[in-house]
Amino acid sequence: MLHCFSVDVEGFGEGMSESIAVPAGMVGSAEDRREIASNVAQMLEWLHQEGVLATFFVLGRIAEQQPEVVRAIVAAGHELASHSHDHVRLYNLPLAEARAQIARSKKALEDASGHAVVGFRAPDFSITGKNLEILDALVECGYAYDSSLSPVSFHDVYGVPGGGRWIHRLPNGLIEFPPATVDIAGHVFPVLGGGYMRVTPTFLARWITGHFQSQDQPVMSYIHPYEIGDAHPQIHGLPWARRLRHYGNLGRARGRYTALFRRYSFGSAQAVLQQRGHAVGAPVDAQRPVRSRTA
């Protein structure tokens, strides 16, 4: 069966800008654009080597400022999806402004790529119990699936406690493909995201993926370009816990995901959903031919 590998495309500083004060000019600067272009290029090269097609959730502002990055992603055969327009937590915005963000992003990505965009992931998984009406706005804007509702029991930024852990259709028709989690004694924890992969051993990721597969459920894993590429802008003065969270083991993510690719099959969200019988846009190839995997 096919599991999903996804990439949230944003700048290093931009991804943490609502948690800490990042240096002025880090977001949207020439340096930021070079960082994104370099890390995405390294990500594409790595995925090509591994024979994996992924879903890239890209910010609309990157599509407007760096359309060549979007075109490179599509040219490599990956699915293009929306990560909203700016990396701003949607529950901090009025509904009208949040809707404008997701609509502008879709248009920017489609204009840059020439391809329809049907998938969405909110920055920092910022659709929670505070702003579920955003899900109706996604349908109105033409999205077919979402990957924002993380059913974790507790987290300092996101979470929909009690939400569905598997792919499911929402009452408004939108398909939800939640990020991977594990349930331990009734408490739901996030797993298989880039940060978690960097601080947990490889065998645990293999076991979790195998556990999902034994239940006939695909995982939704996710990572950021800077967790594969080598462009890591330095933000000085961070508390040790915050520095560990953003810089810890950045060199280890590649090898740990590679180990998963060698054992299990990974592809785009659209390919996984189509394999599961959900029609979400034009047919796509499930997977580029890859080397044999060990059982």
The per-residue pLDDT for 280 is 84
Handedness of CA 36, 39, 45, 51 (dihedral sign): negative
* Half-sphere exposure of residue 120: CA atoms within 13 angstroms, side-chain side: 34
* Angle made by CA atoms 269, 57, 157, in degrees to the nearest 5: 105
With beta carbons less than 8 A apart as the criterion, state whether 89 and 101 touch: no
Give the whole-angstrom CA distance, residue 256 versus residue 109: 30
Kindly write down the DSSP assignment for every residue of 135-172, as one continuous string.
HHHHHHTT--EE------S--SS---TT--SS-EE-TT
Residue 102's pLDDT is: 97
Distance CA 286, CA 33 (A): 31
Pinpoint the alpha helices (H) of 175-284: 194-199, 202-214, 240-247, 253-263, 269-275
Distance CA 285, CA 126 (A): 30
Who wins on pLDDT, 253 or 17?
Answer: 253
Q: How many CA atoms lie within 13 A of 45 on its CB side?
A: 9
Number of DSSP helices (H) and strands (E) in the chain, helices first? 10, 11
Separation CA 123–CA 58 (nearest Å)? 10
Give me 288's structure tokens. 């580029």
Residue 291 lies in a domain: no
* pLDDT per residue as tens digits for the range 159-181: 899 999 999 999 999 999 999 99
Residue 277 DSSP symbol: T
DSSP-assigned beta bridge partners for residue 119: 145
Helices 67-75/95-113 angle, 10° precision: 60
Question: Per-residue pLDDT averaged across 29-54, rounded?
Answer: 96
Res 240: pLDDT: 66
**Is residue 199 a part of any domain in this protein?**
yes
Higher per-residue confidence, 25 vs 149 = 149
Beta partners for residue 69, in sequence order:
none
Average pLDDT, stretch 35-63? 97
Residue 268 located in a structural domain: yes
pLDDT > 70: what percent of the chain? 90
Tens of pLDDT along 260-274? 999 999 999 999 999
Alpha-carbon Rg of the chain, whole angstroms?
A: 18
- Chain position carrying tokens 């880090």: 26
CATH number at residue 246: 3.20.20.370
Q: How many structural domains is the chain composed of?
A: 1
**pTM for this prediction:** 0.92
Q: Is residue 290 part of a domain?
A: no
What is the rounded CA–CA span in Å between residue 62 and residue 121?
15
Helix 30-50, helix 67-75: angle, nearest 10: 0
22 vs 123, residue with greater confidence: 123
In a domain, 17, yes or no: yes
User: Is residue 282 a part of any domain in this protein?
Assistant: no
Of 133, 171, 129, 173, the residue nearest 149 (C-alpha)? 129
The pLDDT confidence band at residue 282, using thresholds 50, 70 and 90, is low
pLDDT tens figures, 114-159: 999 999 999 999 999 999 999 999 999 999 999 999 999 877 788 8
Q: What CA–CA distance (Å, rounded) separates 28 from 193?
A: 25
**Residue 292 confidence (pLDDT):** 30
Q: Measuring CA to CA, which residue among 113, 114, 177 is closest to residue 147? A: 177
Domain of 147 in residue numbering reads as 2-275
Report whether 137 contacts 99 (CB < 8 A).
Answer: yes
8, pLDDT greater than 60: yes
